[in-house]
Amino acid sequence: MVFIANYWKDPSKTMVTVYSNCDNVELRLNNLLITNGGKEQSENSTHLLRPPFIFKIDQYIPGRLEAIGFIKGKPVARTYRLTPGKMRHHLGIEIDLSGKPLTNNDIVFVYAYIYDENNTVISDADDLVQFSLSNAYDQALFIGENPVRAEAGIATILLKTSSMASSNEITIIAFSSTIKEQERRFVVSVIQ
Q: Which CATH superfamily is domain 2-82 in?
A: Immunoglobulins (2.60.40.10)
0.85 exceeded by pTM = no
User: Can you give the pLDDT at residue 158?
Assistant: 97
User: Can you give the pLDDT at residue 60?
Assistant: 93
Q: Which residues of the chain does CATH 2.60.40.10 include?
A: 2-82, 90-191
The candidate with the shortest Cα–Cα distance to 27, out of 74, 65, 71, 81, is 65
Tens of pLDDT along the chain (192 residues) come to 999 999 999 999 999 999 999 999 999 999 999 987 777 766 776 777 788 999 999 999 999 999 999 999 999 999 999 999 889 999 999 999 998 888 888 999 999 999 999 999 999 999 999 999 987 777 889 999 999 999 999 999 999 988 776 667 888 999 999 888 887 877 777 776
The CATH number fitting domain 90-191, selected from 3.30.70.1050, 3.10.450.50, 2.60.40.10, 3.30.1360.120: 2.60.40.10
The answer to whether 52 and 17 have CB atoms below 8 angstroms apart is yes
